[in-house]
Amino acid sequence: MRKYQDLINESENLKDLEKIRVEIFGKKGILTSKFQELKTLNGNEKREKAQQLNKIKTTFTKFIASKKEILEKKAISEKMRESAVDVSLFDSHNEVGSLHPVSQTMDKIIEYFVSMNFSISEGPLIEDDFHNFEALNLPKHHPARDMQDTFYFNDSKLLRTHTSPVQIRTMQKIKPPIRMISPGPVFRRDFDLTHTPMFHQVEGLVVEEEGKVSFANLKFILEDFLHYMFGDVEVRFRPSFFPFTEPSAEVDISCIFCKGKGCRVCSHTGWLEVLGSGMIDPNVFKAVGYENVSGYAFGLGVERFAMLLREIGDLRSLFEGDLRLLEQFR
Ligand code: DAH
C-alpha cells in the first residue's frame, strides 16, 4: 500500500488522482479484491483482517479526499490564470465608437448658432402648465393644446411637449437683449414611422429693444442656417399659425432627394417642412412682464433633420440601439 500512498502524493491533477482511486477502490481495485479474499477466511483471522482492511480503507479515503481538495484548488487557480485578461496587450481589432446620428445633428445645429453668437440655455424636462402652455399664449381649453399629446403627472405637472417653455424661463431670468438657443429632449404621446414619445428640439429666441429686430432678421438667420445644414437648397417661408408668434411662418426647403421635382419623401410637393418660426406674440411678452421689446423665435425637430440628412426612413430605428444600424453613421 506504500506504493499507492506515494502515487497519491505525486499525482499532479484530478484525472491522475481519480485513476489511482479506481485502482484502489474500483470494482477490480486492489482493496476491493482484498475485501473479497475475506470470504475465504474464518473466525478470528477473518475479523482481524477485516479490521485491518477497514483501517486502510479509512486512511486512504481521507488521504484521497485531502489530496483532491488540494488539486481542485490548483485546477481553479490554473483556470483563472488561463482566462485572465491582460489589459496591457495591444488589440488590433479595436472598435471605435461614434456619436449617435441625433447627437451628430444636434452638434452641427449648435455649432451654427454658437458661431452666430447665440448662447445656450436649458430648462427642466418636467414642466408646469404655466411655462409649457399658459405663458406661451395657450390658455386652458385653447384648441391648439390638443395638437401636443401631453404626458401629464397627477399634480398639474407634465413632461414638456416642446422646448418653447425655455423661452419663458429665460425671459423671466434675464433682461433683453437675448440671443439664445435651447436644445433638448421633449415628450409626446405619439408613436409611428415619424414619431417617437421622446425626441429632441432646438428652440431659438432673440429679443431686443423695440424696433431693433424684425422679420427680415429672422428670415436671414434661418435661410443662412438651412444652407449651412443642407447646402444648396431653396428656402421658402409659408404663412402659418402658432399661438406664441404673430405673424408665424413655417419654413420649407426644396426637397433634397428629388431637387424639388416631387417624390415620395416630399409627398410630391417638392418641399420639405423643417421649421416653425415667427415674431414673438405680444401676449407672450405680457406674460413675462416685458415692455417695449420685439423679438423672434423658432423651433425645430432634431430627429427630422437627422432623418433628412442621413436618409433614415423609420424614426423609431434611431432609438433601438442596434449597433448594425448605428455603425453606418460613423
Ligand atoms: N413649439 C413648436 C412645436 O413644438 C415649434 C415652434 C414653432 C417653436 C414656432 C417656436 C416657434 O419658437 O416660433 O411644434
3-state secondary structure 153-208: CCCCEEECCCCCHHHHHHHHHCCCCEEEEEEEEEECCCCECCECCEEEEEEEEEEE
Same domain, 173 and 257: yes
For residue 94, being part of any structural domain is answered with: no
Going from the Cα of 254 to the center of ligand 1, the distance in angstroms, rounded, reads 21
As to burial, measured by CB atoms within 10 angstroms (0-12 exposed, 13-18 middle, 19+ buried), residue 140 is exposed
**203: Cβ below 6 Å to ligand 1?**
yes
Listed residues 89, 114, 142: the one ending a domain: 89
Same domain, 69 and 197: no
- In a mutational test of the pocket of ligand 1, which residue from 133, 138, 162 has the highest number of ligand atoms less than 8 Å from its CB? 162
Q: How far apart are CA 318 and CA 102, in angstroms?
A: 8
Listed residues 56, 89, 122: the one ending a domain: 89
For residue 179, being part of any structural domain is answered with: yes
Residues 101/312, Cβ–Cβ less than 8 Å: yes
The count of domains in the chain is 2
**164: Cβ below 6 Å to ligand 1?**
yes
Same domain, 294 and 202: yes
Going from the Cα of 199 to the center of ligand 1, the distance in angstroms, rounded, reads 14
Q: Which CATH number belongs to the domain containing residue 126 in this structure?
A: 3.30.930.10
- In a mutational test of the pocket of ligand 1, which residue from 118, 142, 215, 244 has the highest number of ligand atoms less than 8 Å from its CB? 244
Can you give the pLDDT at residue 279? Answer: 98
Same domain, 300 and 159: yes
Which segments within the chain are labelled E, that is strand? 119-120, 126-128, 157-159, 178-187, 198-209, 235-242, 245-254, 271-280, 293-301
Q: How far is CA 155 from CA 123, 129, 158, 276, 322, in A?
A: 19, 10, 8, 30, 37
Same domain, 132 and 258: yes
Q: Which three cell numbers stand for residue 289?
A: 412682464
Q: Which three cell numbers stand for residue 241?
A: 399659425
Q: How far apart are CA 28 and CA 92, in angstroms?
A: 55
Residue at 79: amino acid letter: K
Can you give the pLDDT at residue 132? Answer: 96
The 10 Å Cβ neighbour count of residue 54 is 11
Same domain, 196 and 225: yes
Q: What average pLDDT does the segment 272-291 reach?
A: 97
For residue 96, being part of any structural domain is answered with: no
Going from the Cα of 146 to the center of ligand 1, the distance in angstroms, rounded, reads 15
Residue at 295: amino acid letter: G
- In a mutational test of the pocket of ligand 1, which residue from 242, 251, 304 has the highest number of ligand atoms less than 8 Å from its CB? 242
Same domain, 137 and 269: yes
Same domain, 199 and 55: no
Q: Which three cell numbers stand for residue 296?
A: 423672434
Confidence of residue 95 (pLDDT cuts 50, 70, 90): confident
Same domain, 10 and 46: yes
**278: Cβ below 6 Å to ligand 1?**
yes
Percent of the chain with pLDDT over 70: 100
Can you give the pLDDT at residue 276? Answer: 98
For residue 95, being part of any structural domain is answered with: no
The range of the structural domain enclosing residue 6 comes to: 2-89
Residues 88/156, Cβ–Cβ less than 8 Å: no
Phi, psi of 291 (to 5 degrees): -135, 155
**298: Cβ below 6 Å to ligand 1?**
yes
207-256 pLDDT per residue, tens: 999 999 999 999 999 999 999 999 999 999 999 999 999 999 999 999 99
Same domain, 39 and 184: no
Can you give the pLDDT at residue 3? Answer: 87
